[in-house]
Structure 1
Amino acid sequence: MGTVLDSHFLALTAIVTVGYQLLFFILTALLKFDKVTDFAGSTNFVIIAILTLVLKGTWHFRQIILTLFVVIWGLRLAGFLLMRNPSVQAVDIIGWILWSIGVIIEAIADQQKLVFKNSPNNRGKWCNVGVWKFSRHPNYFGEILLWWGIFAASAPVLKGAEWLVIVGPIFLTMLLLFVSGIPLLEESADKKFGNMAEYKIYKRTTSPLILLPPVVYGKLPAWFKATFLFELPLYSRNIPQDETSNLHSNLCTV
Structure 2
Amino acid sequence: MRTAAQLVYLDLKSVILQWGEDRRFDEMRNNLGKLAIFWIFQAIWVWTVSLPVTVVNASDENPSLQAEDIIGWIMWSVGITLEATADQQKLAFKNSPENRGKWCNVGLWKFTRHPNYFGEILLWWGIFVASTPVLDGAEWLVILGPIFLTLLLLFVSGIPLLEESADKKFGNIAGYRVYKRTTSPLIPLPPTMYGNLPSWFKAAFLFELPFYSKNFPGEGANW
Q: Which residue of 1 aligns with 2:33?
A: none
1:46-61 equivalence runs, <5 A = none
Alignment of 1:1-254 (within 5 A): 87-242=64-219, 245=222, 248=223
C-alpha distance in 1, partners of 2:142/2:136? Answer: 11
1:170-222 CA distance string (max 9 Å, x none): 00000000000000000000000000110000000000001111011111111
Distance 1:218 1:191 in 2: 22
Q: CA deviation at 1:242?
A: 3.8
- What is the CA distance between 1:243 and its match in structure 2? 6.2
Percent identity among equivalent residues? 77
In structure 1, how many angstroms separate the alpha carbons of the residues matched to 2:217 and 2:81? 36
Q: Which amino acid aligns with 1:224?
A: F
TM-score of the superposed pair, with normalisation by structure 2:
0.70
Aligned equivalent of 1:26: none
C-alpha distance 237-97 of structure 1, shift in aligned 2 (>3 A)? same
What are structure 2's unaligned runs of at least 5 residues?
Answer: 4-62
Partners in 2 of 1:175 and 1:242 — Cα distance?
25
Taking structure 1 as the reference length, what is the TM-score of the superposition? 0.62
Number of positions where the alignment pairs a residue of Structure 1 with one of Structure 2: 163
Any idea what SS the aligned residue of 1:109 has? helix
TM-fit CA distance, 1:89: 1.8
Runs of 5+ unmatched residues, structure 1? 1-22, 24-85, 249-254
SS of match in other structure, 1:110: helix
Displaced runs of 4+ in structure 1, greater than 2 A?
Answer: 240-245
Counterparts of 2:121 and 2:220, CA distance in 1: 31
1:235 CA drift (Å): 0.4
Task: Give how far 1:240 is off.
Answer: 3.4
- In the TM superposition, residue 147 of structure 1 has moved relative to its aligned partner by 0.1
Q: Aligned AA for 2:184?
A: S
